[in-house]
Amino acid sequence: MTDPFYHPAENRYQQGMKYRRAGRSGIFLPEISLGLWHNFGDVDTLAGSKQKLHHAFDCGITHFDLANNYGPSNGSAEETFGQIMKSSFAPYRDELFISTKAGHDMWPGPYGTWGSRKSLMASIDQSLRRMNLEYVDIFYSHRYDPETPLEETMQALVDIVRQGKALYVGLSKYPYEAACRAYQYLREHDVPCLAYQGRYNLFNIEPEREHILELAHENGAGFIAFSPLAQGLLTNRYLNGIPEDSRIARGGFLKASALTPEVLARIQALNNIALRRGQTLAEMSLAWLLKDKLVTSVIVGASSVEQLDDNLKALQNTSFSEAELKEINEVLSK
């Protein structure tokens, strides 16, 4: 039931959030979006998840990014979101842009993973049920499936839109050649790709180096950067060791082995540059991505409202002097 006491901030669109057009579409996305990969599963408290989501919306974040397998456990981030959708956000559905994805391991057996029509069709139905939604705004193929014909995956995306279960579609982590073919297929079937999601941050400039950013632009798709803080490495989180409540300590994809002496030295050097700019390292790392107009939005993760607030401050200064950029490049090339 909708909570009669939930009222989002009336000035939510006057809090400094800016919106950028996704490629050549009609859609504007907030420069900072919130992702639910971590921190919203059934291992986290519902109250904490609610607090972060409410706060995000209060600050003008209209785009929430999910996937079938986000949690842990698989599906539980969508369930959390579904509960909050029902209790808080239902009256505001038309102000929200909600994404989900399928393609990584989700349920056991041969149909719960990769990019078959069977898998995508079943997954979108499950996601809609878990999230208490009639449709998602964008449905992504979560990863390129080299074994399934690309046409099968793309046609499933097209049909999901035709069935009214998603308004737009997107690609995530597709290599260059596969992305070229996918953009073309979707365009030719009148469901142009809205957005490409790729890992992009100061420690990983692959989308730049592999021309994925340009390719999205040429194909009229927006580019959305995920893990913009390198899962927390590009923040002050690990400057003085590994905090007990951190992503590394909680176990998962980010391992303590990522924190080599060389990486730590880079984090410290970048932190010094950020402090001179009057920013935290997290703020500077996000600003560095947003200086590029080809980036439509950065999807941050946050384990607290304080982190979210810090990240939002990045929007206050996204320009860099030549000297600052040179210094950052020097740190990264060491």
In the complex, the residues that contact ligand NDP under the rule CB under 6 A are 35-39, 65, 142, 172-173, 197, 226-232, 235-237, 246-247, 282, 299-303, 307, 310-311
Q: Which residues of 163-198 are buried (b: 16+ CB within 10 A; e: fewer)?
A: eebbbbbbbbbbeeebbeebbebbeebebbbbbbbb
Q: Both tokens of residue 282?
A: 């997290």
CB of 242 to ligand NDP, least distance (A): 9
Nearer to ligand NDP, 201 or 219 (CB): 201
CB of 278 to ligand NDP, least distance (A): 15
CB of 196 to ligand NDP, least distance (A): 10
Nearer to ligand NDP, 91 or 278 (CB): 278
Nearer to ligand NDP, 132 or 172 (CB): 172
SS3 at position 235: coil
CB of 228 to ligand NDP, least distance (A): 5
CB of 305 to ligand NDP, least distance (A): 11
* DSSP one-letter string for 178-226: HHHHHHHHHHHTT--EEEEEEE-BTTB-HHHHTTHHHHHHHTT-EEEEE
Residue 87 parent element (H or E): none
Nearer to ligand NDP, 132 or 311 (CB): 311
Nearer to ligand NDP, 150 or 195 (CB): 195
Q: Dihedrals φ, ψ of 114, to 5°? A: 60, -150
Nearest to 192 by CA among 222, 224, 226: 222
* DSSP one-letter string for 266-334: HHHHHHHHHHHHT--HHHHHHHHHHTSTTEEEEEE--SSHHHHHHHHHGGG-----HHHHHHHHHHHH-
CB of 334 to ligand NDP, least distance (A): 22
Q: Dihedrals φ, ψ of 30, to 5°? A: -65, 145
CB of 322 to ligand NDP, least distance (A): 26
SS3 at position 21: strand
Nearer to ligand NDP, 6 or 104 (CB): 104
Nearest to 204 by CA among 228, 224, 222: 228
Q: Both tokens of residue 156?
A: 């499933």
How many Cα atoms occupy the beta-carbon half-sphere of 203 within 13 Å? 21
CB of 116 to ligand NDP, least distance (A): 18
Q: Both tokens of residue 97?
A: 């842009």
Nearer to ligand NDP, 60 or 207 (CB): 207
Q: How many helices (H) and strands (E) does the chain have?
A: 12, 10
CB of 179 to ligand NDP, least distance (A): 13
Nearer to ligand NDP, 169 or 229 (CB): 229
CA distance 150 to 134: 27
Nearer to ligand NDP, 4 or 76 (CB): 76
